[in-house]
Amino acid sequence: MTIQWFPGHMAKARREIEEKLKLVDFVMELVDARAPLSSQNPMLQQILQNKSKMVLLMKRDLADSNITNEWIEYYREKNIPAIAVNVNNKADISRVIQQAKELGQIKLDKLIKKGIQPRPVRAMIVGIPNVGKSSLINRLANKKIAKVGDRPGITQHQLWIKVKKDFELLDTPGILWPKFEDQRVGYRLAAIGTIKDQLLSLQDIVVFAINYMKVHYPNQLMERYNIEQNENDMLDIFMKIGKLRGALESGGNINFDKVADIVLRDLRTGRLGNITLEKPIDEQ
Find out whether 274 and 65 touch, Cβ atoms under 8 Å. Answer: yes
User: What per-residue confidence (pLDDT) applies to 6?
Assistant: 53
pLDDT surpasses 50 at 148: no
Calculate mean pLDDT across residues 166-188. Answer: 78
User: What per-residue confidence (pLDDT) applies to 153?
Assistant: 42
Calculate mean pLDDT across residues 25-41. Answer: 93
User: What per-residue confidence (pLDDT) applies to 121?
Assistant: 84
Calculate mean pLDDT across residues 197-218. Answer: 91
Domains of the chain, residue spans: 3-179, 201-276
User: What per-residue confidence (pLDDT) applies to 57?
Assistant: 98
The CATH architecture annotation of domain 3-179 reads: 3-Layer(aba) Sandwich (3.40)
Amino acid in position 103: L
Calculate mean pLDDT across residues 81-89. Answer: 96
pLDDT surpasses 90 at 259: yes
User: What per-residue confidence (pLDDT) applies to 147?
Assistant: 42
User: What per-residue confidence (pLDDT) applies to 156?
Assistant: 42
pLDDT surpasses 80 at 83: yes
Average pLDDT of the residues of the chain? 85
* pLDDT class of 284 with cuts at 50, 70, 90: low
pLDDT surpasses 90 at 223: yes
Q: What spatial distance separates the first Cα and last Cα of the chain, rounded to whole Å?
A: 23
* pLDDT class of 144 with cuts at 50, 70, 90: low
Find out whether 85 and 58 touch, Cβ atoms under 8 Å. Answer: yes
* pLDDT class of 150 with cuts at 50, 70, 90: very low
User: What per-residue confidence (pLDDT) applies to 61?
Assistant: 97
Find out whether 23 and 266 touch, Cβ atoms under 8 Å. Answer: no
User: What per-residue confidence (pLDDT) applies to 267?
Assistant: 96
Share of the chain above pLDDT 90, in %: 49
User: What per-residue confidence (pLDDT) applies to 142?
Assistant: 80
Identify the residue with better confidence: 3 or 58. 58
User: What per-residue confidence (pLDDT) applies to 152?
Assistant: 39
User: What per-residue confidence (pLDDT) applies to 42?
Assistant: 81
pLDDT surpasses 70 at 281: yes
pTM: 0.87
User: What per-residue confidence (pLDDT) applies to 112?
Assistant: 79
DSSP code per residue over the chain: --EE---HHHHHHHHHHHHHGGG-SEEEEEEETTSTTTTS-HHHHHHHTT--EEEEEE-GGGS-HHHHHHHHHHHHTTT--EEEE-TT-HHHHHHHHHHHHHHHHHHHHHHHHTTPPP--EEEEEEE-TTSSHHHHHHHHHTS--S---SSS----S-EEEEETTTEEEEE------SEESSHHHHHHHHHTT-S-GGGS-HHHHHHHHHHHHHHH-HHHHHHHH---TT---HHHHHHHHHHHHT-B-TTS-B-HHHHHHHHHHHHHHTTT-S--S--HHHH-
The CATH architecture annotation of domain 201-276 reads: Orthogonal Bundle (1.10)
pLDDT surpasses 90 at 107: no
